[in-house]
Amino acid sequence: MARLLYIIVLFVVSLLVLKYVRRKIDERTNKLNQAKLNQSKQTGAKDMLKCEHCALHIPKNEAIRQGDRVFCSLEHARKHLE
């Protein structure tokens, strides 16, 4: 009888531990997802620049600059200056 009780207690405890671990994992993945979302928001619309030639929006780090003008490619920068 004591053995059966022991098994039941063990079962309940392991269920609680499993629940706790699962919740911790969920919290962690939620935080990671939130961080990724914030990062993509920051590198998203905020850092997009418009090409003066074709009006295409390009990431800031890929933009070609000619003075204070912004272009999507060297070709468009050249065409615009001709």
Query: How far apart, in whole angstroms, are the C-alpha atoms of residue 25 and residue 76?
Result: 49
Tokens found for residue 26: 């969920």
Stretch that binds Zn ion, among 2-10, 19-27, 39-47, 73-81 (CB under 5 A): 73-81
Residue 49 binding Zn ion, by CB under 5 A: no
Rounded least distance, CB 66 to Zn ion, Å: 12
Stretch that binds Zn ion, among 13-21, 26-34, 39-47, 65-73 (CB under 5 A): 65-73
Residue 64 binding Zn ion, by CB under 5 A: no
Distances (CA, A) of 65 to 46, 51, 60, 81: 17, 10, 10, 12
